[in-house]
Chains A and B, each alone.
Chain A
Amino acid sequence: MSTLSLTSAFSLLLKRDLTLAYRRRAELVNPLLFFVLVTAMFPLGIGNDAKLIEAVGPGVIWVAALLAALLSLDAMFRADYDDGSLEQFMLSAHPVSILVLAKVLAHWLVTGLPLFIAAPLLALLLNIPAEAIPTLMLTLILGTPVLSLIGSVGVALTVGLRRGGVILSLLILPLYVPVLIFATDTVKTAIVGIPITAQLSILSAMLVGSLVLAPLATAASLRISLS
């Protein structure tokens, strides 16, 4: 039996997760639909005031993205936990944190990336000026991976629980606050027309930091959940 290199293990796991997601296409659109629906609810709740909608727009899009990410998180390890393949990953010769990274990447490609693609449409619905839309997309592409990464720690801690969903939101939402603050602030700053380099640097720093730290915490949490 030949041993598998780490990179091929990573890409195999990524390919497997993407194939699995593709076979359940109906589930695939759910987070995206949720994202669009939640965003569409806000103008209905606030009232038909263009100024007001424009003012809350970036915040609404980001809160909806947060909730959509939260909704889809539970699926990250659930199926693998149920059928026992998660235990096989733990037993493999490769570092669990790298395998976790493959799963998080697959999760983000399936749930985070669609939000990024749908964002311009929603931005138009919420009267966000066209000049600020690239910035909004930039914050989404920097911020949503952070949501998936931080979220993976929470999912790993709650995967063995029967009613994990509610607890998951309690664990994860406070940790999402910095992303929310900086991302919406970036967009608002861009609408006013002030340079946004500082905010983007901080968002990138969060991405890099969580990219390094979160898989370690997730791997440790998975070991605990499976013990």
Chain B
Amino acid sequence: MIIRFFHQMGSPRYFYDVAGKLVPWFMVSFLISLVLGIYYGLFVAPPDYQQGESYRIMYIHVPAAWMSMFIYVVMAVSGLISLVWRIKMTEVIVISSATVGASFTFLALVTGSLWGKPMWGTWWVWDARLTSELLLLFLYLGIIALHSAVEDKRVAARAVSILALVGVVNIPIIHYSVEWWNTLHQPASITKMGKPSMDISMLMPLLIMAISFKLYYGAVVLMRARAEIIERERNARWVLEMVEQEAK
């Protein structure tokens, strides 16, 4: 039963159909949770006793930062699967995720510095988290550049899978080395948020936003995967038949 499911999901045509049916569900639930999360985050949650209203950017910033790491792990796992079992659909997932992941990383960096300006008085500090997030963005950009440089897209997907795996081995090392470098060379003048014992009224919107971003990722990655499948299989019979039917 499960094996059959994976077998079917490995076929581009079946994946295309199922993804097409899933996208509206993801989209609708994303929009609902987004409206809920924004409303509770911006209007219902109380202002912070120290940071006032400007902490609210956290409701975009923190979920975006979570997504930037989550998507990289998804890419590495599907990269491993596509290298080991040569499943076409996980290759498609790897490359469809890269741009979304890079966007979330960029969003996290931008919102972070928007928050940093009023809070720390500067747009950028070489803080451990900021630096490793910046390096993560470079890793994403490298993956995107490599994919666009290789002409044969199947070869490109496998090359990118290897790169994602090499990156995932390196990310912890990069993270800890940056943290270590930071603690040695920067005085603890910055009061980071650390681990604030957050009130439930502040935490709930954050969790809703995190779910919302995940749903967005699900919707977008499926849409991109469908587009990628059509492009790869443009000479396959089922695609031609589908196009003919659409034309009628």
Contacts and interface: CB of A to CB of B under 8 A. Distances in A.
Interface of A: 153, 157-158, 160-161, 163-164, 166-167, 170-171, 173-175, 177-178, 181-182, 185, 206, 213, 217, 220-221, 224-225, 227
Given A217-B166, A227-B155, A171 B146 contact: yes
Contacts of A173: 138
Contacts of B165: 217
B159 interface: yes
A157 B177 contact: no
B169 interface: yes
B39 interface: no
B155 A224 contact: yes
Given A174-B174, A224-B158, A157 B138 contact: no
Give the 6 A-B residue pairs with the shortest CB-CB distance, closest first.
A178-B177, A171-B142, A174-B138, A170-B142, A181-B181, A181-B177
B146 A177 contact: no
Interface of chain A: mostly helix, strand, loop or mixed: helix
Interface string B112-129: 000000000000000000
Interface residues of B, number: 27
B20 to A, nearest CB: 30
Contact of B163 (A163, A171, A182, A206): A171
A220 B159 CA distance: 9
A181 B179 CA distance: 10
A173 to B, nearest CB: 7
Interface in B16-63: none
Contact of A167 (B142, B177, B180): B142
17 contacts: A153-B166, A158-B146, A163-B149, A164-B149, A173-B138, A174-B135, A174-B139, A175-B167, A175-B174, A177-B174, A178-B170, A181-B178, A217-B162, A217-B166, A221-B159, A221-B162, A225-B155
A175 B149 contact: no
